[in-house]
């Protein structure tokens, strides 16, 4: 909603500066989104009177003048010859600039300066300098200064002397959806009136008494509302014999300042009154409304027929549905109720008689119609937020009055009003103590009453503890007591409510500890050297399908890049790798924690995950060392997975190599708890996909179900006494077939259960010299220790030999000790 | 007595020899030459026996003192030579870059979220959570924003293609409803999380972003409490020089409603008086009725703000999309 400072001042007195008005409106809840100062024409140019005129001592053609600018005297050096002491002339003050001429880039700014050694504080102007045709403004055309009328007021802004618009300030206000009454100048002025205590000055409307020559309205038009629920009130007035033409300057300028194009006097008036009162109006060409069989033009307010075609004012053909309300005559639709008029009855140059509609339409219905048709207008905007049904007739009268003033004509007597009797106003009771309860500050009863009455509420009854108000029809947002308390708080000022230090009950929520556990995962992974990523939730279906077949799609995506919900964090991480590598960050190690979404048995499923992505070099750059350029490999990923799971408290995790490549991974393993419950997956990205993502180095990916990790972790920690007896170590190299895994070795150890075995550590895997083709050498250190005594060699040997025998028997191992 | 006169010059020569030994091997040789079985100082000690009995104690004392001095000098010289031997051939250049370990960083949004959570937890708030896929009821209807409500205009919504036509929550306020439905008052929670709006991505919009929601329901909760808590949290987050302003506003689920503006040196530097940072208000009695709380007994407040916005202000980040690209040069800055 745009308003201007000068326009607002027509309805309420206030002496705030433009900046203070911004601040006041903002604090009242009318956020000022933009302020535009309009310079107005001839800014800094005033009417001045020449007091004396003397010759310049150093120049023949110049004179030194003393002039009165209305506030005092100043000295001006002037080169014109056509004036004398006593003449009134336009004076441009220092700092102001002359109206720009065609082709001029920089404005010419007047400064205090010396002309031939004499100071000049401004400049007296000619008609050329002002860009004016003197005859067009009723003045004599002559060389030199523009000599003004003798009765001109000294000190008056020159624009005002000419009757042109002066400076103004345009405010762009954000009106919250609960306050439709503020979509009007009067509504905003009412707020200012409430704050200042000054009275609201409504324009006087005096069209009630029409002359005996006027035609009674009933003989001109009938109105039939077929759906009173969608149109609770419809008023119509008719003005006969208007002359449609351009608007007078005041009307045109008022509209243009707030961004509305001037069309014609009649149409401009309807827009002006809408801005002024918040009531959308529509003007029809009376003679284009079809007559009923009895010969009387009739307005029907009805639902549109299914598929009914209608051409709106913007010349678009619309196809309507029975959910839409139509203003019609006996033959055709003439306006899309509350949204836009019809091309078939619009005001045109030949219009002689005008019918003004001022009605109230159901907000929800207007909103739906506007949304379905994709057609929004100043009118629909106001109706869908809730207009003021109480103001319909006042606005119609106001429009009629302004049309008579600007377009002439004769107003028909009376009004057609389908709801002549206003419904009983709403009543709300306020308990004075409740405002203290909610706002946290005691406000005197008299202040509470005063705030609400200043806003236009009427005190109906009062008891020592309560007061009951009737709510004016424009305040559709006031529904219950708390709404009145808000108004009391608003006018009191939230800045005056003292802050209370935090107090009260301590919060509890089951998720609270989960939040910390998730933070722990983050801490572990950053400690392991990974950077945390945050990916888009919305990704493309193509990317999503790499990770899962159970895709949850959006019904209304913005683009095909973001048309499904991520079923996995991995596609997003791949995107982040791609972005990094394309920007020459070749070495990237990321993790992400977030939710993924899948469609399971037709229903959406949400799950927390944690994922890892690695590519490029394992170590930060260094200037020496053989391994410094080593790239990440699967065992980096595996190590990270092991560290994460172990640190987070998962016991009994099993990695099982997958038999074949997947849609995403070349070689991979599934991670399970005890070989059963799937926790996640890890492996190397398919090289073809890596290429598709422009990733040159091998990419390693892992993803875990974080909800399961949270559910299955055992974070309990208990102290175990440090060993007090020495250990004995036995190293064994096993020559085994390739197919024998480390896990198989561990399984054999587990089954054999050697006495006092403390740890098994793999310290070398070797293929090559002295190892037959198809075999590998696995070197293990077995550490034996008893908790209660020093072990002897024979004791250890007995256990260890059993183990070695098992390796030979179960793993086809050749053992080197 | 010639013997006594010999002690001092002999000692001086010995000390000079030790000091002149260039390395540990030479030092051990020098040691032998003086203090060994056939050493020169040992020879002097052997002469002690030849002195008359009454001169022996004084001469013995003198010789011992000299010997201790030589031994001390030997020890000092050995330590010096050992230290020299331990130094590498080429001295280390301490200006060369060290061998760095990768240190992972938390995403800036995580860091800001953690800071906000920490500030709230100091004053007794617990963290709560809710689903990102929501239904109309929890996201809108229970918050008094039915389908045709004009307030829905600013929250263009993504719908999920599935039977019940769920949606992606447009704000964390949906969790208010879920928590109040699941636990009796009092309630004191904060809810950080992802939310979704159907906005095209640009420097200030991403279809996915993060919000944090605070809700406090108790007996006798007032606007004063809301102000006190908001001021505490923002001072914790933005520094003690931050100024907070409450400005009347409208939300369908709070009454009264306010927007919160803040200012500090940074805002002034941006050439602004105030920056809008959060919305808040007293929980609307209608919302309490929807979740089965008695508005005659309980009052409360709620507030919410965007985490990206706080992070952008705090670090001077000018494009929201940077948060979701995960350029490691970006991530490592925080």
**pLDDT tier for residue A427 given thresholds of 50, 70 and 90:** very high
Is the predicted pLDDT of residue A703 greater than 60, yes or no?
A: yes
Of all residues in chain A, the one with the smallest CA distance to B201 is A558
Of the residues A507, A595, A604, the best mutation for testing chain B's interface (the one with the most B CB atoms within 10 Å of its CB) is: A507
Distance (Å, whole) CA A329 – CA A268: 24
Is the predicted pLDDT of residue B79 greater than 90, yes or no?
A: yes
Homologous superfamily of A728-816: Ferrodoxin-fold anticodon-binding domain (3.30.70.380)
Q: Which residues of A touch B133 (CB under 8 A)?
A: 565, 597, 604, 606
Distance (Å, whole) CA B112 – CA B307: 7
Q: Which residues of B touch A431 (CB under 8 A)?
A: none
Distance (Å, whole) CA A380 – CA A391: 17
More confident residue, B34 or B180: B180
**Are both A2-40+167-196 and A427-496 of the same fold?**
yes
Nearby residues of A85 by Cβ (< 8 Å), 6 or more positions away: A50, A51, A52, A53
Closest CB to A620 among B102, B133, B326: B102
How would CATH label the architecture of A217-417? 3-Layer(bba) Sandwich (3.50)
Contact A375, A318 (CB under 8 A): yes
> For residue B169, what are the CA distances in angstroms to A564, B128, B139, B148, B252?
15, 15, 6, 17, 16
Closest CB to B124 among A437, A507, A579: A507
Is the predicted pLDDT of residue B230 greater than 80, yes or no?
A: yes
- A236 has which bridge partners? A357, A416
In A30-85, beta strands by DSSP E: 31-38, 45-55, 63-68, 73-78
Is the predicted pLDDT of residue A210 greater than 60, yes or no?
A: no
Give which of A342, A361, A351, A360 is closest to A403, Cα–Cα: A351
Give the total residue count for chain B.
Answer: 334
Q: Which residues of B touch A368 (CB under 8 A)?
A: 148
Q: A427-496 sits in which CATH class?
A: alpha beta
Of all residues in chain A, the one with the smallest CA distance to B210 is A534
Residues A531, B228: C-beta atoms closer than 8 Å? no
Q: Which residues of A touch B107 (CB under 8 A)?
A: 531-534
Q: Which residues of A touch B104 (CB under 8 A)?
A: 525-532, 589, 591
Q: Does B323 touch chain A (CB under 8 A)?
A: yes
Residues B196, A538: C-beta atoms closer than 8 Å? yes
Q: A2-40+167-196 sits in which CATH class?
A: alpha beta
Q: Which residues of A touch B162 (CB under 8 A)?
A: 552, 599, 602-604
Residues A26, B323: C-beta atoms closer than 8 Å? no
Q: Distance from A483 to chain B by nearest Cα, in Å? A: 7
Q: Does B90 touch chain A (CB under 8 A)?
A: no
Distance (Å, whole) CA A64 – CA A41: 28
Is the predicted pLDDT of residue B36 greater than 90, yes or no?
A: no
Q: Distance from A26 to chain B by nearest Cα, in Å? A: 7
Please write down the long-range contacts of A223-226, taking CB distance under 8 Å and 24 or more positions apart: A223/A298, A223/A299, A223/A300, A223/A301, A223/A416, A223/A418, A224/A298, A224/A299, A224/A300, A224/A301, A225/A301, A225/A418, A226/A300, A226/A301, A226/A302, A226/A303
Residues B227, A500: C-beta atoms closer than 8 Å? yes
Give the HSE-up count for residue B312: Cα atoms under 13 Å, Cβ half-sphere. 19
Residues A27, B248: C-beta atoms closer than 8 Å? yes
pLDDT at A143: 86
- Of A165-174, A238-247, A590-599, B168-177, least confident by mean pLDDT is A165-174
Domain A513-712 has CATH 3.30.930.10: yes
Domain A45-162: which CATH number of 2.40.50.140, 2.30.33.40, 3.40.50.10540, 3.30.1370.160 = 2.40.50.140
Q: What is the pTM of this model?
A: 0.81
**pLDDT tier for residue B117 given thresholds of 50, 70 and 90:** very high
Closest CB to B159 among A530, A555, A579: A555
Q: Does B280 touch chain A (CB under 8 A)?
A: no
Distance (Å, whole) CA A466 – CA A54: 77
Residues B103, A501: C-beta atoms closer than 8 Å? no
Is the predicted pLDDT of residue B170 greater than 80, yes or no?
A: yes
- Of A631-635, A731-735, B153-157, least confident by mean pLDDT is B153-157
Contact B165, A555 (CB under 8 A): yes
pLDDT at B155: 67
**pLDDT tier for residue A542 given thresholds of 50, 70 and 90:** very high
Q: Distance from B249 to chain A by nearest Cα, in Å? A: 5
Is the predicted pLDDT of residue A27 greater than 70, yes or no?
A: yes
Q: Does B235 touch chain A (CB under 8 A)?
A: no
Residues B222, A579: C-beta atoms closer than 8 Å? no
Is the predicted pLDDT of residue A21 greater than 80, yes or no?
A: yes
Nearby residues of A223 by Cβ (< 8 Å), 6 or more positions away: A234, A236, A298, A299, A300, A301, A416, A418
Would you list the domain boundaries of chain A?
A: 2-40+167-196, 45-162, 217-417, 427-496, 513-712, 728-816
Q: Distance from B306 to chain A by nearest Cα, in Å? A: 16
Alpha helices in A177-239, H assignment, sequence order = 185-196
How many whole angstroms from its chain centre is CA A747? 61
More confident residue, A156 or A782: A782
A-proximal residues of B, 244-263, CB under 8 Å: 245-250, 252, 255-259
Contact A438, B223 (CB under 8 A): yes
Phi, psi dihedral angles at A221 (to 5 degrees): -150, 145
Q: Which residues of B touch A514 (CB under 8 A)?
A: 129
Q: What share of chain A in percent tops pLDDT 90?
A: 78
How many whole angstroms from its chain centre is CA A597? 27
- B211 has which bridge partners? B193, B306
Residues B110, A532: C-beta atoms closer than 8 Å? yes
> For residue A651, what are the CA distances in angstroms to A668, A669, A697, B160, B313?
21, 18, 33, 38, 43
Residues B124, A509: C-beta atoms closer than 8 Å? no
Residues A511, B127: C-beta atoms closer than 8 Å? yes
Distance (Å, whole) CA A542 – CA A553: 12
More confident residue, A117 or B281: B281
**pLDDT tier for residue B154 given thresholds of 50, 70 and 90:** low
Q: Which residues of A touch B252 (CB under 8 A)?
A: 178
**pLDDT tier for residue A447 given thresholds of 50, 70 and 90:** very high
pLDDT at A575: 96
Average pLDDT over residues B182-189: 95
Six token digits for residue B233: 């949290």
Q: Which residues of B touch A501 (CB under 8 A)?
A: 228, 232
Q: Distance from B13 to chain A by nearest Cα, in Å? A: 49
Closest CB to B224 among A177, A497, A535: A497
- Of A5-14, A129-138, A371-380, A509-518, least confident by mean pLDDT is A129-138
The C-alpha angle B316, B317, B321, rounded to 5 degrees, equals: 170
Residues B222, A557: C-beta atoms closer than 8 Å? no
pLDDT at A388: 94
Cβ-based contacts under 8 A for chains A and B = 263
The secondary structure of chain B, three-state, reads: CHHHHHHHHHHHHHHHHHHHCCCHHHHHHHHHHHHCCCCHHHHHHHHHHHCCHHHHHHHHHHHHHHHHHHHHHHHHHHHHHHHHHHCCCCCCCCCCCCCCCCCCCCCHHHHHHHHHHHHHHHCCCEECCCCCEECHHHHCHHHCCCCCCHHHHHCCCCEECCCCCCEECCCCHHHHHHHHHHCCCCEEEEEEEEEECCCCCECCECCEEEEEEEEEEECCCCHHHHHHHHHHHHHHHHCCCCEEEEEEEEECCEEEEEEEEEECHHHHHCCCCCEEEEEEEEECHHHHHHHCCCCCCCEEEEEEEEHHHHHHHHHCCCCCCHHHHCCHHHHCCC
Q: Distance from A760 to chain B by nearest Cα, in Å? A: 28
User: Peptide bond before A66: cis, by omega within 30 degrees of 0?
Assistant: no
Q: Does B289 touch chain A (CB under 8 A)?
A: no
Contact B156, A474 (CB under 8 A): no
- Of A140-149, A184-193, A226-235, B274-283, least confident by mean pLDDT is A140-149
Six token digits for residue A385: 């937020």
**pLDDT tier for residue B60 given thresholds of 50, 70 and 90:** confident
Which DSSP letter does residue A768 get?
Answer: S
Which DSSP letter does residue A613 get?
Answer: E
Q: Which residues of B touch A535 (CB under 8 A)?
A: 324, 326
Q: Which residues of B touch A576 (CB under 8 A)?
A: 325-326
Residues B208, A536: C-beta atoms closer than 8 Å? yes
Is the predicted pLDDT of residue A165 greater than 80, yes or no?
A: no
Average pLDDT over residues A476-489: 94
Residues A522, B106: C-beta atoms closer than 8 Å? yes
DSSP A451-508: HHHHTT-EEEEE-SSEEEEEPPTT-TT--SHHHHHHHHHHHH-GGGSPP--S-SPPP-
Of the residues B127, B176, B258, B262, the best mutation for testing chain A's interface (the one with the most A CB atoms within 10 Å of its CB) is: B127
Contact A98, A127 (CB under 8 A): no
A-proximal residues of B, 27-66, CB under 8 Å: none
- Of A119-133, A274-288, A525-539, A767-781, least confident by mean pLDDT is A119-133
Closest CB to B221 among A504, A556, A599: A504
Average pLDDT over residues A356-369: 95
Of the residues B97, B105, B107, the best mutation for testing chain A's interface (the one with the most A CB atoms within 10 Å of its CB) is: B107
Is the predicted pLDDT of residue B151 greater than 70, yes or no?
A: no
pLDDT at B57: 85
Average pLDDT in chain B: 91
Residues A501, B228: C-beta atoms closer than 8 Å? yes
Q: What is the pLDDT of residues A31-76, one digit of tens each?
A: 999 998 887 778 888 999 999 999 998 888 899 999 999 888 999 9
pLDDT at A209: 57
- Which residue's entry shows tokens 């190690």? A589
| Antiparallel, parallel or unpaired: β A588-600 and A531-533 | parallel
Average pLDDT over residues A536-560: 95
Of all residues in chain B, the one with the smallest CA distance to A480 is B285
């Amino acid at each position: 909603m745009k308003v201007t400072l000068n326009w607002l001042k027509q309805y309420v007195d206030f002496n705030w500066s433009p900046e203070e008005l911004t601040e006041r409106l903002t604090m009242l809840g009318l956020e000022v989104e933009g302020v535009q100062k309009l310079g107005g024409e001839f800014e800094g140019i005033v009417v001045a009177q020449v007091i004396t005129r003397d010759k310049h001592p150093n120049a023949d053609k110049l004179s030194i003048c003393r002039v009165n600018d209305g506030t005092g005297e100043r000295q001006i050096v002037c080169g014109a010859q056509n004036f004398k002491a006593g003449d009134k002339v336009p004076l441009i003050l220092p700092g102001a600039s002359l109206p720009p001429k065609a082709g001029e880039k920089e404005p010419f700014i007047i400064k205090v300066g010396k002309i031939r050694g004499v100071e000049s504080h401004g400049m007296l102007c000619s008609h050329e300098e002002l860009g004016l045709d003197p005859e067009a403004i009723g003045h004599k055309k002559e060389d030199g200064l523009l000599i003004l009328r003798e009765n001109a007021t000294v000190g008056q802004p020159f624009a005002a002397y000419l009757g042109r618009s002066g400076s103004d300030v345009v405010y762009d206000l954000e009106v919250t959806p609960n306050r439709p009454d503020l979509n009007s100048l009067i509504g905003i002025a009412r707020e200012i009136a409430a704050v200042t205590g000054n009275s609201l000055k409504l324009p006087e409307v005096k069209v009630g008494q029409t002359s005996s020559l006027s035609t009674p309205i009933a003989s001109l038009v009938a109105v039939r509302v077929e759906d009173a629920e969608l149109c609770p009130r419809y008023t119509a007035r008719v003005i006969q014999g208007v002359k449609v033409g351009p608007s007078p300057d005041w009307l045109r300028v008022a509209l243009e300042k707030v961004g509305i194009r001037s069309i014609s006097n009649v149409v401009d008036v309807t827009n002006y009154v809408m801005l002024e009162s918040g009531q959308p109006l529509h003007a029809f060409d009376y003679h284009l409304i079809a007559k009923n069989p009895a010969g009387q033009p009739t307005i029907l307010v009805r639902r549109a027929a299914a598929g009914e075609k209608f051409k709106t004012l913007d010349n678009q053909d619309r196809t309507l549905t029975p959910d839409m309300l139509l203003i019609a005559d006996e033959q055709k639709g003439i306006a899309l109720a509350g949204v836009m008029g019809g091309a078939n009855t619009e005001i045109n140059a030949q219009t002689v008689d005008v019918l003004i509609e001022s009605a109230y339409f159901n907000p929800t219905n207007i909103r739906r119609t506007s949304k379905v048709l994709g057609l929004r207008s100043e009118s629909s905007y106001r109706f869908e937020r809730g207009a003021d049904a109480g103001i319909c007739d006042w606005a119609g009268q106001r429009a009629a009055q302004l049309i008579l003033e600007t377009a002439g004509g004769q107003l028909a007597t009376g009004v057609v009003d389908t709801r002549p009797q206003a419904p009983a106003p709403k009543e709300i009771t306020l308990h004075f103590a409740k405002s203290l309860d909610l706002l946290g500050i005691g406000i005197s009863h008299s202040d509470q009453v005063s705030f609400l009455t200043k806003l236009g509420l009427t005190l109906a009854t009062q008891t020592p503890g309560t007061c009951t108000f009737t709510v004016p029809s424009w305040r559709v947002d006031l529904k219950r007591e708390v709404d009145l308390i808000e108004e009391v708080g608003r006018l009191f000022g939230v800045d005056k409510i003292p802050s209370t230090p935090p107090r009260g009950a301590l919060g509890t929520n089951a998720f609270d500890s989960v939040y910390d556990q998730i933070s722990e995962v983050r801490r572990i992974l950053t400690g392991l050297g990974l950077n945390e990523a945050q990916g888009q939730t919305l990704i493309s279906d193509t990317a999503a399908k790499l990770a899962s077949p159970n895709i949850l799609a959006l019904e209304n995506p913005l683009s095909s890049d973001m048309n499904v919900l991520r079923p996995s964090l991995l596609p997003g991480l791949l995107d982040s790798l791609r972005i990094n590598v394309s920007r020459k960050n070749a070495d990237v190690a990321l993790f992400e924690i977030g939710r993924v979404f899948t469609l399971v048995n037709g229903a959406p499923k949400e799950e927390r995950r944690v994922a890892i992505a690695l590519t490029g070099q394992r170590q930060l750059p260094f200037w020496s060392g053989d391994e410094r350029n080593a790239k990440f490999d699967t065992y980096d990923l595996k190590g990270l997975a092991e560290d994460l799971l172990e640190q987070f408290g998962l016991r009994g995790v099993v990695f099982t190599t997958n038999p074949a490549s997947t849609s995403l991974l070349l070689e991979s393993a599934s991670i399970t708890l005890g070989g059963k419950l799937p926790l996640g997956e890890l492996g190397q990205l398919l090289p073809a996909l890596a290429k598709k993502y422009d990733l040159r180095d091998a990419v390693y990916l892992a993803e875990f179900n974080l909800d399961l990790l949270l559910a299955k972790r055992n974070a309990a920690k208990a102290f175990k006494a440090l060993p007090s007896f020495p250990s004995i170590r036995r190293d064994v190299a096993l020559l085994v077939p390739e197919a024998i895994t480390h896990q198989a070795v561990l399984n054999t150890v587990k089954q054999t259960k050697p006495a006092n075995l403390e740890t098994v550590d793999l310290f070398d895997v070797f293929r090559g010299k002295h190892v037959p083709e198809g075999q590998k050498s696995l070197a293990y250190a077995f550490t034996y220790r008893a908790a209660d005594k020093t072990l002897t060699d024979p004791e250890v040997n007995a256990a260890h030999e059993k183990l070695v025998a098992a390796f030979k028997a179960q793993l086809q191992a050749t053992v080197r000790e | 007595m010639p013997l006594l006169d010999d002690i001092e010059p002999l000692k001086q020569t010995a000390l000079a020899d030790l000091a002149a030994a260039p390395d540990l091997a030479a030092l051990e040789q020098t040691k032998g030459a003086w203090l060994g079985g056939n050493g020169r100082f040992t020879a002097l000690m052997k002469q002690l026996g030849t002195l008359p009995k009454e001169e022996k104690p004084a001469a013995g004392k003198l010789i011992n003192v000299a010997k201790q001095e030589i031994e001390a000098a030997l020890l000092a010289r050995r330590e010096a030579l050992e230290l020299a031997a331990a130094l590498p051939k080429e001295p280390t250049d301490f200006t060369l870059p060290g061998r760095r370990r990768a240190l992972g960083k938390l995403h800036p949004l995580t860091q800001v979220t953690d800071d906000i959570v920490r500030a709230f937890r100091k004053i007794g708030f617990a963290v709560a959570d809710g689903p990102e896929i929501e239904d109309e009821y929890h996201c809108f209807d229970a918050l008094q924003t039915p389908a045709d409500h004009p307030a829905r205009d600013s929250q263009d919504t993504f719908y999920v293609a599935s039977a019940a036509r769920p949606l992606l929550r447009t704000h964390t306020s949906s969790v208010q409803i879920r928590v109040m439905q699941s636990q009796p008052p009092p309630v004191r929670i904060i809810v950080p999380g992802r939310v979704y709006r159907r906005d095209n991505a640009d420097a200030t919009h991403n279809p996915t972003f993060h919000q944090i929601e605070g809700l406090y329901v108790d007996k006798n909760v007032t606007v004063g409490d809301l102000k006190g808590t908001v001021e505490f949290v923002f001072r914790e987050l933005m520094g003690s020089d931050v100024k907070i302003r409450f400005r009347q506003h409208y939300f369908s689920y709070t009454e009264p409603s306010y927007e919160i503006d803040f200012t500090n040196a940074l805002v002034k530097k941006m050439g602004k008086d105030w920056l809008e940072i959060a919305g808040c208000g007293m929980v609307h009695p209608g919302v309490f009725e929807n979740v089965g709380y008695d508005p005659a007994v309980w009052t409360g407040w709620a507030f919410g703000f965007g985490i990206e916005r706080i992070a952008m202000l705090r670090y001077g980040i000018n494009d929201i999309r940077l948060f979701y690209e995960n350029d490691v040069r970006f991530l490592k800055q925080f």
